[in-house]
Amino acid sequence: MTAKSYARSIELPTESIFRNLKHARRFAIDIGGSLAKLSYCSTVSRRTSMVFDEPEQDDASHIYNISETDQVIVRLHFVKFETKYIETCLDFIQGNLIQSKDFMKDKYIKATGGGAYKYKDLITSKLGVQVDKEDEMDCLICGCNFLLKNIPDESFVYQRHGNPDYKFQGVSTDIFPYLLVNIGSGVSLIKVESENKFERIGGTSTGGGTFWGLGSLLTEARSFDELVELAERGDHRSVDMLVKDIYGGAYTSIGLPGDIIASSFGKAARSPKDKNTKSFKEEDLARSLLLSISNDIGQIAYLHARIHNLKKIYFGGYFIRGHPMTMHTITFAINYWSKGEIQALFLRHEGYLGAIGAFLKGEEEEDTERYSWGEHFAGSSGLVSPKQKCFDIAKSRSSMFDHLEIDRLERPLLPCTLLLDVNSYYPDTVDLTKDAEAREYWLQCFSQGADKSKLQAIKSQPSSPDAVERADKFKSRYLDRLSVLKANPCCFGSLNVRTLLDTSSQFLSELDFTDPFSQQKQFENEQALKSLDGHLNHLDTLSWDDRQMALAKGLLAGNVFDWGAMEVRKIMETQEFGFADAQDKLQAIFCDNSGADIILGVIPLTRELLSRGTSVILCANSRPTLNDVTFSELQLITKHVAAISGEINQALTEGRLLVMESGQGSPCLDLRLIDQCLVDTIKTMDTDLIIIEGMGRAIHTNFEAAFSCECLKVAVIKNRWLANRFGGDMFNVMFKYERSRRVSASNNTS
Amino acid sequence: MASTAEHNGFHFPEGSSESNNGTSVDYPAMPWFGMDIGGTLTKLVYFEPRDIAASEEQEEVETLRTIRRYLTGNVAYGKTGIRDVHLEMPNQVIGNRRGSLHFIRFPTSEMYAFIDLAKSKNFSSLSSAICATGGGAYKFEEDFYKMVSLRLHKYDELECLLKGIHYIDRFNPSFECYYWTDPGNSQLCQKVPFDFRNPYPYLVVNIGSGVSILAVKSPSEYRRVSGTSLGGGTFLGLCCLLTNCETFEDAIQLASEGDATKVDKLVRDIYGGDYDKFNLKGETVASSFGQMMSKDRRETASRADLAKATLVTITNNIGSIARMCAVTEKIERVVFVGNFLRVNTISMKLLAYAMDFWSRGSLKALFLEHEGYFGAMGCLMEYLNLGHPCNT
């Protein structure tokens, strides 16, 4: 049986491989010698709740109405599979596309990679589309720029046996210039200076093909991965001539340690004494080969980077393909040659560069620049080394397929300008890839919480017949993901409470539980609104000193009314902060929960600030998550509040009180990705105080964030483990005022 | 241009002076050797005094005569020692003596046979020390002392190399330094002498088992700027593994009969022709050994093809690293030395072509006749304390 017929006879779980194919519009494909990557854009229809005001209905029992509606999300899908399955995959696509062959006729598919030519006719005959070839290098660079700009933690430094092995690089605001070293059969070095300006500055023929080709001659390994596997076990010292083999020790006068390789394969050279051919272990030869090629590429990359004054070198191509061994040897080489000045960088989605680029080439008229993009963790495979993958294959065929999904966010996101230094800002307080104890705790905590999320989801859709089934699916998928993260904490980029929460929201949303707390939020908002008038009147009776305390307590007390809170206790440990400091300042408040939190905590504080002449921007999440108040809810709430409070009403009319969306959909707050309108408003209104409220926004994230303006971080610690970590108690509070960290220019010049 | 001993900054005190035909107390006793013990080969420079008066010859101790006659009367020693007769430099004046410089090499793996020879010729009765450079000067120090009671006077490898280059270039009666014209064209390509009297700055690429690259700005200003472990040892090691050849000469001979395009993947093998976007010609090697991924291709590639591909891969890689080092050091002359280039015009022409092509003519690849012997020559000079560049 030929390899091809074997491949075709395999039953592929194609449904789960090509997700959302029915609505796919635009395809691109990158066909390499061993792997093919298909990309398409699809729309995902999602049942979600919408809040609206409907005065005609005049339902006195509700302050606003909730209705179910379908929300459409644009999502990019990338699927990687072995090239030998290409025909099966094309058949499946053809059979499942809504569009008929006639409809496809004058459409085209962008194709790149070495196989683009070879499979051109097959694609045309199967899908009835024209194949439009795109230059490989163009696609590579285009894909690389896209990932670096849009996907947080796309790049990482690899440190073998480090804690953690993968050191993620966050979000880059200025990615140019950089050197991309693409190690395919040969090696190309491309200097990328801007979106459209790049140049191949060099290359070497000693690349992945040399490793594989020479390796096939020297060992019995049948595949590239097997060869890397062999190298992993080998010891090059029996094959290579080391400095100490020549010198008897180190060559100290020029600083060469004894263990440095002086001559690769030097010991394999026969001397006249050797009557017979020397014999070497296969694994030792493979190791020596891998080291010599990695060192060589590292040296050449370093020399080019030096000549062109480039500080960032990204490595990609099939030679790397997530293999810890090749990443390790390349890292070692760059470190050695640059004496630690340059770090070798790798990409989480390195295999998709060409496919992403080819897709974007076809999307050019749609102007991808206009949007921001977010990784859809719930539909993506993580970073898995080919070795780990071998084990998975035993489990299921679908693991031969690797996925990446990226959601289009309708509005562009930018870093918050109030941050002292965007480049050194890192949102998360605890890095769970590093902190094993914290990781253990939180993974456990979220595993236990999965059941609660499931029940809440079921409760939120009482009339849906399949709610239980879907909620069960959510639970099992989320638990699966948590166990993957437990085994390989680095496989989706940074691991922290924020990403765990976001992943949970994504899995819920995948199963049509987009806003499981909508009714509860509505109920709590109504309850809180009922007491607002009385609360405001009470505040007005207090002296200034008492009122300050009451407002602070109110903000904190409100924050206790969290979805997770079981009991309300108030233990105040406030730092010194007077409202007098806030006078005449414009502030931006990043709000947390619905109900008491927003209405009895944030609103009275806002009113106080407004009454002192301050302008206020209330910032709420764009998308629902847990019981956090959303932008659309907050708009309606504010309207009701305005009916109660004259000051609020007036400020709204005068434009001194603004309600804006943050661009976020997370219980945490990543200030690198804020809605552009909000960023612009913060800038034009010269904001000089930022208040961040809630455990997710002020403790799990932003706890250490430094701002160029004054800042107030407020939260109640509603988690015992975390409280213990801080050396405090459950329900301890944080009320932290920080002065601006900006050093004024006049101080600098003195 | 007047050629003086100081022309290149080195000072040769004995320069053009007449030999005094007598033994000088200023110089160590005969015999005079310089030895460079590398990872694969040991290089020996022997000064044979030719101005021995009859009276002196009678006085010459038996041992010394034996050694002299043994070395100069043979062109091969044992199974593996070889005297490169064509490199011999007659009529040299060194240390107030006139004589010939002989260039001898043997595999470092035969070092113990050499030590036995020294023992059998009773070497230690003449001298208590022998001068050496190269890694082996450290590695074998103890063995020399224990086995033949000889101390090794060790000299700095880079210093010896540079000194040897300048001495031989200056005193070789025929031309030492040369380059290849039209290296890309087998019809037009030829060896042309190059005047190396004003050498600075230059890059030395010393290709032995491994490769060292030195930037030389002046006699006293030089430093090792880079190197690579992919050198002559890699070529021979891989050839032995791939073709089962036995010697460097075999490997080079095989390579000269082979066709690397049967082994390498060329740009045209991937793109069907030139890759215009990046100005890559179809015949450019895209992936060395790239065809060998395929079983069928492995079966059709001959031993000679494999040897050729190995040679081309190693050579081009060295060329590419050397070129980048020249750019970072802002140096235009690149001198390739080392025994990898012995009987290896293929590599020399490839290097010459690569330097010229990739630098668009701004870099020049230079070669020296005494390929691998400069370290040993410099070592002999150090031993006789001649013309130390730092002292001038």
How distant, in Å, are the alpha carbons of A91, A317, A663, A715, B173 from that of B179?
Answer: 61, 39, 67, 77, 18
Contacts of A732 (CB under 8 A, 6+ apart): A571, A573, A716, A717, A723, A726
Closest by CA to A659, choosing from A600, A595, A591, A706, is A591
Identify the residue with better confidence: A674 or A46. Answer: A674
Region A109-130: mean pLDDT is 88
Q: pLDDT tens digit string along A281-336?
A: 999 999 999 999 999 999 999 999 999 999 999 999 989 988 899 999 999 999 99
Among the listed ranges A13-17, A191-195, B133-137, which one has the minimum average pLDDT value? A13-17
pLDDT value of position B95:
86
Contact B237 A269 (CB under 8 A): yes
Closest by CA to A440, choosing from A380, A495, A392, is A495
Q: Find which of A139, A192, A210 to mutate to test the B interface (most B CBs within 10 Å of its CB).
A: A210
With contacts defined as CB-CB under 8 Å, which chain B residues touch A292?
A: 229-230, 234
Q: What are the structure tokens assigned to A514, written together?
A: 């987009």
CA distance A366 to A352: 21
Q: What are the structure tokens assigned to B27, written together?
A: 């110089």
Answer yes or no: are the C-beta atoms of A355 and A143 closer than 8 Å. Answer: yes
Contact A247 B138 (CB under 8 A): yes
Tokens 């010939």 belong to B100
- List the single residue in B with minimal CA-CA distance to A245: B39
- List the single residue in A with minimal CA-CA distance to B225: A254
Q: pLDDT tens digit string along A9-37?
A: 445 555 677 888 877 888 899 998 778 99
pLDDT value of position A55:
63
pLDDT value of position A100:
57
Contact A269 B320 (CB under 8 A): no
Region A130-143: mean pLDDT is 92
Distance from the A268 Cα atom to the nearest Cα atom in chain B, whole angstroms:
4
- List the single residue in B with minimal CA-CA distance to A269: B237
Residue A209 is which amino acid? G
Residue A79 is which amino acid? V
Answer yes or no: are the C-beta atoms of B162 and B216 closer than 8 Å. Answer: yes
Contact A248 B287 (CB under 8 A): no
Q: Identify the three-state secondary structure at position A671.
A: coil
Region B185-207: mean pLDDT is 94
CA distance B290 to A239: 22
With contacts defined as CB-CB under 8 Å, which chain B residues touch A341?
A: none
Contact B287 A213 (CB under 8 A): yes
Question: Band of the pLDDT at A568, cuts 50, 70, 90?
Answer: very low
Distance from the B236 Cα atom to the nearest Cα atom in chain A, whole angstroms:
5
Straight-line distance from the first to the last Cα atom of chain B, in angstroms, rounded to the nearest whole number: 22
pTM to 2 decimal places = 0.90
- List the single residue in B with minimal CA-CA distance to A306: B328
How distant, in Å, are the alpha carbons of A618, A630, A673, A689, A694 from that of A664?
Answer: 14, 10, 8, 20, 15
Closest by CA to A532, choosing from A591, A608, A627, A601, is A601
pLDDT value of position A372:
87
Q: pLDDT tens digit string along A347-375?
A: 999 999 999 999 998 877 667 777 889 99
If phi > 0 it is left, if psi is from -120 to 50 it is alpha, else beta; for residue B349 that is alpha
Contact B39 A246 (CB under 8 A): yes
| DSSP-assigned states of every residue in B29-93 | PSPEEEEEE-SSEEEEEEEEE----HHHHHHS-HHHHHHHHHHHH-SEETTTEEE-GGG-EEEEE
Contact B138 A248 (CB under 8 A): yes
Residue A111's DSSP bridge partners are A29, A133
Contact A272 B230 (CB under 8 A): no
Residue A148 is which amino acid? L
Region B214-224: mean pLDDT is 94
pLDDT at B387 over 60: no
Q: pLDDT tens digit string along A514-547?
A: 899 998 899 889 988 998 999 999 999 999 999 9
Contacts of A541 (CB under 8 A, 6+ apart): none
Question: Band of the pLDDT at A104, cuts 50, 70, 90?
Answer: low
With contacts defined as CB-CB under 8 Å, which chain B residues touch A272?
A: 79-80, 107, 109-110, 246-247
DSSP letter assigned to residue A560 = H
CA distance A30 to A37: 5
pLDDT at B5 over 70: no
Among A184, A218, A254, beta carbon nearest to B224: A254
Among B134, B135, B313, beta carbon nearest to A206: B313
Q: Find which of B133, B212, B234, B267 to mutate to test the A interface (most A CBs within 10 Å of its CB).
A: B234
Q: pLDDT tens digit string along B71-105?
A: 999 999 988 899 999 999 999 999 889 999 999 99
Answer yes or no: are the C-beta atoms of A41 and A359 closer than 8 Å. Answer: yes
Contact A210 B313 (CB under 8 A): yes
Question: Band of the pLDDT at A386, cuts 50, 70, 90?
Answer: low
Among B107, B229, B316, beta carbon nearest to A205: B316
Identify the residue with better confidence: A584 or B368. Answer: B368
Contact A216 B226 (CB under 8 A): no
Q: pLDDT tens digit string along A650-692?
A: 999 999 999 999 999 999 999 999 999 999 999 999 999 999 9
Answer yes or no: are the C-beta atoms of B165 and B337 closer than 8 Å. Answer: yes
Taken in order A303, A309, A312, A318, the sign of the CA dihedral is negative
ipTM of the complex in this document: 0.92
Q: What are the structure tokens assigned to A394, written together?
A: 């035993």
Give percent of chain A with pLDDT exceeding 90: 60
pLDDT at A748 over 50: no
With contacts defined as CB-CB under 8 Å, which chain A residues touch B206?
A: none
Contact A209 B234 (CB under 8 A): no
Identify the residue with better confidence: B258 or A744. Answer: B258
pLDDT value of position A198:
96
Q: What are the structure tokens assigned to A107, written together?
A: 């459409």
Distance from the B83 Cα atom to the nearest Cα atom in chain A, whole angstroms:
17
Answer yes or no: are the C-beta atoms of B80 and A272 closer than 8 Å. Answer: yes
pLDDT value of position B354:
93
Identify the residue with better confidence: A631 or A91. Answer: A631
CA distance A258 to A245: 8
CB atoms within 10 A of CB B91: 11
Closest by CA to B36, choosing from B167, B142, B152, is B152
Residues of B involved in catalysis: 157
pLDDT value of position B255:
98
Q: pLDDT tens digit string along B308-348?
A: 999 999 999 999 999 999 999 999 999 999 999 999 999 99
Identify the residue with better confidence: A660 or A163. Answer: A660
CA distance A487 to A470: 26
| DSSP-assigned states of every residue in A258-321 | TTSEEETTGGGS--TT--S-----HHHHHHHHHHHHHHHHHHHHHHHHHHTT---EEEESTTTT
Tokens 């998709």 belong to A352
Answer yes or no: are the C-beta atoms of A17 and A483 closer than 8 Å. Answer: no
CA distance A436 to A178: 33
pLDDT value of position A98:
57
Longest dimension (CA), chain B: 78
Question: Band of the pLDDT at A450, cuts 50, 70, 90?
Answer: very high
Contacts of B345 (CB under 8 A, 6+ apart): none
DSSP letter assigned to residue B197 = S
Q: What are the structure tokens assigned to A102, written together?
A: 């006639």
Answer yes or no: are the C-beta atoms of A465 and A475 closer than 8 Å. Answer: no
Distance from the A92 Cα atom to the nearest Cα atom in chain B, whole angstroms:
29
Q: Identify the three-state secondary structure at position A633.
A: helix
Answer yes or no: are the C-beta atoms of A696 and A501 closer than 8 Å. Answer: yes
Answer yes or no: are the C-beta atoms of A397 and A669 closer than 8 Å. Answer: no
- List the single residue in A with minimal CA-CA distance to B325: A303
A470-A471-A474-A478 Cα dihedral, nearest 10 degrees: -170
Region A192-209: mean pLDDT is 94
Residue B119 is which amino acid? K
Distance from the B239 Cα atom to the nearest Cα atom in chain A, whole angstroms:
8
Q: Strands A587-590 and B221-228, how do they pair? A: unpaired
- List the single residue in A with minimal CA-CA distance to B141: A248
Contacts of A166 (CB under 8 A, 6+ apart): A156, A157, A158, A159, A383, A433, A490
Distance from the B386 Cα atom to the nearest Cα atom in chain A, whole angstroms:
22
Q: What are the structure tokens assigned to A440, written together?
A: 């253990």
Identify the residue with better confidence: B53 or A396. Answer: B53
pLDDT at A576 over 50: no
Give percent of chain B with pLDDT exceeding 90: 72
pLDDT value of position A385:
60
Region B182-199: mean pLDDT is 92
CA distance B238 to B307: 8
How distant, in Å, are the alpha carbons of A226, A229, A745, B316 from that of A284?
Answer: 14, 11, 60, 25
pLDDT value of position A215:
97
Alpha helices in A65-207 (DSSP H): 86-96, 101-104, 115-118, 120-127, 136-150
Q: Find which of B293, B302, B357 to mutate to test the A interface (most A CBs within 10 Å of its CB).
A: B293
Average pLDDT of chain A to the nearest whole number? 86
DSSP letter assigned to residue A708 = S
CA distance A557 to A560: 5
Q: Strands A657-661 and A616-620, how do they pair? A: parallel
pLDDT at A572 over 60: no
